[in-house]
A and B are shown apart, each in its own frame.
Chain A
Amino acid sequence: MIFQIANALLLGGYYALIAVGLAFMMQVMRVINLAHGTLAILAAYAIWLLADRLDVVPFGGALLVLPPMALLGWYLQRFLLERSARGGELLPILSTFGLSIVLDNLMFQQFGADTRSLSPFIGDLAWASYELPGGIFLGKVPVWILLAAILVIGALQAMLARTALGRRIRATALDPVTAEIVGIDARKTAAAAAALATVTVGLSGLALGLRGTFDAYSGAPQLLFAFEAAIIGGTRSLWGTLAGAMILAFAQTIGAMIHPQGFLLGGHLAFLAVLFARLFALDEALRAPFRRPSQDERTNA
């Protein structure tokens, strides 16, 4: 029992890491990138290639892969999201979905149907663990992933709250036109936010590869996990996303305990339950993170 709780906690750490980039873009830039999971797989393959062909340890490989990921995020915003957003709020969904189909199948073309993992490249570390009092063993890598998720969320929150870039991002998110008036380059700011989000996606690709296996079509389930964690967590702060990731992981663990095929179903049902509760809750406080401003509020503002 304690073993399962510990494992759910660590799994939640991975979900938090994959969800934080999506939640950041949803909360701050108000867009959902449907290629989010696919980009994590792309990073995982890049790190795998470096390890397999050039013997670069995955942690070093990630350091090499993260800058190109940031650049990718920047250009994704400038050339795909920005351009398609001009045609309305629905087109970015379609263009990023198209991108995910292209990338998924290109990766399948390149790497085939075999599942890959990064764990063979980290030696003994793959099964090394910390022993807690009471005979509980926690895998070192999953613990690091959980810590990395907490660190990334803390850093992003601090950046938003304290730095000049954070202020620019918040201003652009609130109202890009007014932000431009006070001298902010809204397009560059949006691209910088997308670059930051994509760096976290790269990190989660490393985490996925270290924790388990992936193949060319693993992007879609990662997108769904990230989305569920982000929605369960609400749109108030990225710490909510961490909580959402934990709830998702615990619901999946409970699902798996009830029925051998209940793992995914448990997570989905928790997501739907939270959605239902929030949409129909009478309690305004509960609804607030999910409610859009009504027309009156917008005119008054």
Chain B
Amino acid sequence: MTASAPDMRVDRSTKATRIGLWAMLAVALLLAVAPWYAGAGVINRLTALCVYVLLAAMWNALAGYGGLVSIGQQMFFGLGAYATIRLSEAGVDPFVAVALAGLAVALLSWPVSLVMLRLRGGEFAIGMWVLASVSHLLVNLDPLIQGETGRSLVALNAYDTETRRLMVFWMALLAMLLVLGLLAALLRSRLGLAIQAIRDNEEAAGSLGVDAFRTKQVIFVLSAFGIGLAGAIWLASATSFQPKTYFSVQWTAYMIFMVLVGGIGRFEGAILGACLFFLIETWFAATGVWYLIGLGATAMVFSLYLPKGAWGAIGLRLLPFGYSVTQGNGDRT
């Protein structure tokens, strides 16, 4: 095949991605009107699903696109919740506080990135874990939180239960769509090309003039923003803040499970992983310890035998990232 063939086309979208995009929009719309056809329990679970998608997409952005495996993302989750408490105690409306908390966490992650992104591989992974532990210990020192006693988002009491449930659900849905949209825009931009070049080979990308550090910084901050927002929404949904729960490494374990099983480095993979995790949690969480053992074992098996995850195995492209080349006779290559 030669590049001069007159009947070759380079496309972003294919039939599958056009269908995929419309299907995504339809699902988003169906979710948005869920309160009109679903009960209170279902709405609460859907809120959790939105948070899981948010977490999976953000860990995937960091690891799958940025090549940065962090075991300390619970740091941003906990800080998002903590910032919400602090802002609401300062008199900010709790729902506004949730949104501001995401921004506050993103702001904090910038100086953090200056130091941490200089670490490589496993050093970055555990270094982030240490930072998460530091954040946990520092939040414990706040007299408002009183160590592990914690604090409730008392300002939420101004709203009745039903309003609260709907507001939190719509906020979760909006946050999920916003952050997924931001990530999609980022990946389709010039920077997105740089991101994938760095993931594939950092040194080769560097020699082509890609500023790896800046690019990673953008992903790191976006990831902190999304996870901070997720923590804030989780707090608005659960109302009580106990540092131990929010700064638990379990959150990162969940993120890793979702992304590994769904498909690391695949936009659709993270969403699929979050949905699978959501189902597994719904069915098996009651089995307690065995549920956690199962999650760890599944993650291990995927990293050993199916490192591309379920979506990688399916190999379908439902969203318009990357390009496909079409020849006149319709063969995709």
A residues contacting B by CB (< 8 A) are 26, 31-32, 34, 80, 83-84, 87-95, 97-102, 105-106, 108-109, 220, 223-224, 227-228, 231, 259, 261, 264-265, 268-269, 271-272, 275-276, 279, 292, 295
Contacts and interface: CB of A to CB of B under 8 A. Distances in A.
B123 A99 contact: no
In terms of DSSP, what is the predominant structure of the interface of chain B?
A: helix
B256 A97 contact: yes
A90 to B, nearest CB: 5
Contacts of A84: 303-304, 307
Interface stretch (B1-9, B95-103, B133-141): B133-141
Nearest first, the 7 A-B pairs at minimum CB distance are A101-B296, A32-B122, A98-B300, A102-B296, A98-B299, A87-B307, A95-B303
Given A102-B300, A275-B115, A261 B121 contact: no
Contacts of B126: 32, 34, 223-224, 227
Contacts of B260: 94
Contacts of B147: 261
Nearest to B134: A268
Given A102-B296, A224-B130, A268-B137, 8 more contacts: A34-B122, A97-B299, A98-B303, A100-B296, A105-B296, A220-B249, A227-B130, A295-B206
Contacts of B125: 32, 34, 93
A103 B332 CA distance: 46
B62 to A, nearest CB: 11
B120 interface: yes
A92 B129 CA distance: 17
B105 interface: no
B133 A99 contact: no
A7 B290 CA distance: 40
A1 to B, nearest CB: 25
Given A80-B304, A90-B67, A292 B120 contact: yes
B297 interface: yes
B333 to A, nearest CB: 26
A26 B69 CA distance: 17
A272 B307 CA distance: 32
Interface string B284-306: 00000110110111011001100
B49 interface: no
Contacts of B85: none
A271 B115 CA distance: 13
7 contacts: A84-B304, A97-B71, A106-B293, A224-B126, A261-B137, A269-B134, A295-B206
A216 to B, nearest CB: 9
Contacts of A91: 303, 307
A95 B300 contact: yes
Contacts of B303: 84, 87, 91, 94-95, 98
A105 B289 contact: yes
B121 A89 contact: yes
B186 interface: no
A265 B134 contact: yes
Given A32-B122, A101-B292, A224-B126, A95 B304 contact: yes
A32 B309 CA distance: 23
B253 interface: yes
A52 B295 CA distance: 31
Contacts of A231: 123, 127
Nearest to B136: A264
Nearest to B64: A90
Contact of A34 (B71, B127, B206): B71
A193 to B, nearest CB: 16
A275 B249 CA distance: 22
Given A32-B122, A105-B296, A292-B120, A279 B115 contact: yes
Contacts of A32: 121-123, 125-126
Given A91-B307, A101-B253, A228-B130, A261 B300 contact: no
B190 interface: no
B118 interface: yes
A98 B296 contact: yes
Nearest to A25: B122
B304 A83 contact: yes
A259 B141 CA distance: 10
